[in-house]
Amino acid sequence: FVPESDVPPLPEGEYYQFQVLGLEVYASSGRLLGKVSDIIEAGEKDVYIVTGQGEEFLIPVTDEAVEKIDVKGGKIKLRPMKGYIPE
């Protein structure tokens, strides 16, 4: 309930949950998987729940899974992970 302009900046590569919720999530192939609908706090790393097109994916927020988070552009790009993240 604080204006975004009053929120202290985080170190590079870290984001507030409100900045990530609603971002579009793309597979490495460019396929839109959906949007971040919720975030599970799971110890050191969060897990993004991505919902779209009748599917739901659980994406661990790790360097192996997430290539880029572009808050200003409204997108998250995933790395290829055979058998885990669909192309």
Contact between 81 and 29 under an 8 Å Cβ cutoff? The reply is no
Helical (H) or strand (E) element with 75:
strand 75-78
Longest dimension (CA), the chain: 42
pTM: 0.88
Burial of 73 per CB tally in 10 Å (0-12, 13-18, 19+): exposed
Structure confidence by residue, pLDDT tens digits, 22-69: 999 999 999 999 999 999 998 889 999 999 989 999 999 999 999 999
Structure confidence by residue, pLDDT tens digits, 75-87: 999 998 877 676 6
Q: Measure the CA–CA gap between 9 and 33, rounded to whole angstroms.
A: 29
Amino acid at 29: S
